[in-house]
Amino acid sequence: MTNSGGITIDGVGMQFDGRQGVTALDGIDLDISAGEFVTLVGPSGCGKSTLLRIVSGLLEPTSGRVDVSGKTPNQARRDVDFGFVFQEPALFPWLRVLGNVLLPGRVLGRRNPNKGPESAEIARELLRDVGLEGFENHYPGQISGGMQQRVALARALSYGPKILLMDEPFGALDEFTRDRLNLQLLDVCNKAGSTVLFVTHSIQEAIFLADRVVVLSPRPGSIARIADVPWPKPRALEIRYEPEFAALTGELRGLLTVEDEVESAMNQP
């Protein structure tokens, strides 16, 4: 299992049945190496979330194939190689914060690499890393949306997945919370060494987080541009005010058609 955590997407297309037979994705080619942080950015309806679901084996593509470290997405999913953070925190309201982070371990049972008391220790440490120390015994209904999303992140990392898939996880949060979570995310992912595929419709967020930004244009969803992000990690929020950052932002935004630019600008926080 060489290149453990790498992903190769080869000519992937996705067609949804329906009255018009919508083509959500068309001819996507992308190589992601282990430990890389790749963001997918584009306006609504460009198939970003669909691509995440194809990579994780939740959806079967209508054409092309995906290789996850020598396995099909379904095999990788069965081996629990993925962590997934959704748009909504999707926490279980009847479990306390710690219980939610421990849930994957309980579901995995013997397949969980972190066993016994060790798993509880790891869960507590992850909660500390995302700044939720002292909230272990709160119910999700008692904490804010941003805190809930941080619990979801800790939950996704709790069983040490090789690949972390994130579907607009911070889209519903205010700018300040989002900034703080971006920093924590970089920190936590760096520590875990996981490969990250992160979907967002904020170009700024996409650049700030990524080693590489993949710009998707819609109808049908296809890759408009793959841009390398030069700033070394760890990064400070201030890099966003550097002229090169603004130039890259402008360049990527220019790739999207005028109509979609309005749409994506409206989606910015």
Partner 1 sequence: MSDTRERRNIANALLRFLPSAAVFVAGLVAWELWVNVRDVPAYLYPSPSEIGGELRDEGLSLAVDDLRWTMIEAVLGFLLGSGAAMFAAVVFVHAKFLERVLFPWAIVLQTVPIVAVAPLLTIWFGFTLTPKVLIAALICFFPVLVNTTKGLRSISTQAVELMSILSASKWSIFWRVRIPSSLPYVFAGLKVASSLSVIGAIVAEFTGADRGIGFVIIQASYRLDTRLMFAGIALSSAAGVLFFNVIGALERLALRWPDARLDR
Check if the beta carbon of residue 244 is closer than 8 Å to that of residue 208: no
Stretch that binds partner 1, among 15-23, 83-91, 127-135, 246-254 (CB under 8 A): 83-91
Judged by CB under 8 A, the residue of 4, 27, 35, 90 near partner 1 is 90
Stretch that binds partner 1, among 35-43, 105-113, 193-201, 215-223 (CB under 8 A): 105-113
Question: Hey, which bits of 99-194 come out as E strands?
Answer: 163-167
Q: How many CA atoms lie within 13 A of 129 on its CB side?
A: 25
Phi and psi torsions of 231, nearest 5°: -65, 135
Q: How far apart are CA 216 and CA 198, in angstroms?
A: 13
Q: How far apart are CA 105 and CA 123, in angstroms?
A: 10
Among positive and negative, which fits the CA dihedral 241, 243, 244, 247? positive
Stretch that binds partner 1, among 20-28, 100-108, 181-189, 203-211 (CB under 8 A): 100-108
Q: How far is the CB of 223 from partner 1 (least distance, A)?
A: 25
Interacting positions 106-125 with partner 1 (CB under 8 A):
106-108
Taking the least distance from each CB to partner 1, the nearer of 173 and 207 is 173
172 part of the interface to partner 1, by CB under 8 A: no
Q: How far is the CB of 90 from partner 1 (least distance, A)?
A: 4
5 part of the interface to partner 1, by CB under 8 A: no
58 part of the interface to partner 1, by CB under 8 A: yes
Check if the beta carbon of residue 198 is closer than 8 Å to that of residue 119: no
Which residue carries 């941003």 as its tokens?
Answer: 146
Interacting positions 209-248 with partner 1 (CB under 8 A):
none
Q: How far is the CB of 23 from partner 1 (least distance, A)?
A: 22
Judged by CB under 8 A, the residue of 31, 88, 179, 187 near partner 1 is 88
Q: Which residues of 108-136 are buried (b: 16+ CB within 10 A; e: fewer)?
A: beeebebeeeebeebbbebbebbebeebb
Judged by CB under 8 A, the residue of 37, 84, 170, 245 near partner 1 is 84
Taking the least distance from each CB to partner 1, the nearer of 158 and 217 is 158
Interacting positions 122-161 with partner 1 (CB under 8 A):
139-142, 159
Which DSSP symbol is given to 201? S
| Residue 15: exposure state from Cβ atoms within 10 A (0-12, 13-18, ≥19) | middle
Tokens of 165: 């898939």
Judged by CB under 8 A, the residue of 27, 33, 77, 186 near partner 1 is 77
Contact set with partner 1 (CB under 8 A): 53, 56, 58, 77-78, 80, 82-84, 86-88, 90, 92-95, 103-104, 106-108, 139-142, 159
